[in-house]
A and B are shown apart, each in its own frame.
Chain A
Amino acid sequence: MKKYFIAIALLSLVLSGCTQGMYKWNGYDDAMYQYYKSPVEKEAFMENLAKIIALGEGTNNVPPGIYAEYGFLHYEGGNFAEAINYFQKEHDRWPESRIFISKMIRNAKMALERSAGTARDINVGPAVGVGANGELIEVPQQGDL
């Protein structure tokens, strides 16, 4: 009986585990998990994303969201010029990202102008907020007006 269960376990592993993928993820999931587990290791997550980009760019096949995620980590670190650079790549590669990423590019440009490269406590959001009745609203960001 036990043998059957082992066989089932192996079979389901074979069926589900070895899917051939379109993208080279380079352990994106595990790297993000590690980063959530220990947020001081931001560098490791950034290195992982840089590697995914390097692996994908050769074949013009960087997975969706990776440029943006990498750009955003630069953004959080106050490196707005690099953030804009990678946001732009996401924007150009994936048309589906454009509405969201355009707002992020606009924010990063404003942040760059304001800070001239210095990291600072800033609002990173692209204009989502909670209204008086708990509804979602678009709110103007600093510098928008």
Chain B
Amino acid sequence: MFRELTRIKSVLLVVAVFVFITGCVATKDYTKFNNAKPASILVVPVVNRSVEVSASDYFLSTITIPIAEKGYYVFPVYMVKRVLEDDGLSDADLVHNAPTQKLSEIFGSDAVLYINIEKWEAKYMLLTTQVTVDLSYVLKDGDTGEELWAERQTMVYVPQNQSTGNPLADLLVMAVNAAVTKAAPNYMPLAKQANNNAFAYPGPGIPSGPYYVKPKPGTTHQN
């Protein structure tokens, strides 16, 4: 009886964690999005609220593939960033505060995607290091500047330790793993996962764009 209960509890917990991970809790209102029907998305430089100065550039490398694979034209992110920089707009905050319509007019984009890095950190805790990537996404209409879609994703990674059966050895392994993760935290898989979750549709993401073609069975995704 009790064992049965524990089992149910575990399953419930699993479901709860899964909902948390996938984030598909509430359905969004897609009326504005569907009316706007954007074909092209301009991803402007990312505002970084973390202390990792390189986070915004690193993150930028992950954003094109998930959106292009949804069938949208994505403006070349490296080129867009450099062009803005060379025209005195190297401050991402400045770009985010500029009128969306003006940006859209200059680049000819249907919509503009604004991303903030809220957290990009590796926190050392007792015998473990917790890596966190927290991102907020807002897509705005190029013609009206209205918000078409918004999402927030938080991904947390804690290194898994396999038990050797020897408690002292386990402690050592944990300490080493924690130190290794802290020394060189790998944020990129978390950032990619956050994007995958954010854009998944059905789910919290955005519907497919005009270039979307259902891949033929048997073809594999080459990243």
| Interfacial residues, chain A to chain B (CB-CB below 8 A) | 1, 4-8, 11-12, 15-30, 32-33, 35-37, 63-66, 68-69, 72, 76, 90, 94, 96-100, 104, 123-130, 134-136, 138-139
Contact = CB atoms under 8 A, between A and B. Distances in A.
A98 B110 CA distance: 12
A15 to B, nearest CB: 8
A28 B64 contact: yes
Contact of A22 (B22, B74, B106, B211): B211
A33 B61 contact: yes
A56 B65 CA distance: 14
Given A19-B221, A65-B74, A33 B86 contact: no
A118 to B, nearest CB: 19
A100 B58 contact: no
What's the interface size class on B, roughly?
35 or more
Interface string B206-222: 00000111010001111
Nearest to A67: B76
B106 to A, nearest CB: 5
A124 B82 contact: yes
Contacts of A100: 75, 106-109
B10 interface: yes
Contact of A136 (B10, B79, B103, B200): B103
Nearest to B95: A136
Contact of A32 (B61, B94, B98): B61
Interface stretch (B11-19, B25-33, B125-133): B11-19
A136 B102 contact: yes
A25 B73 contact: no
A124 B102 contact: no
User: Top 4 nearest A-B pairs by Cβ distance?
Assistant: A99-B108, A65-B76, A96-B40, A125-B87
Given A64-B73, A72-B76, A124 B109 contact: no
A66 B89 contact: no
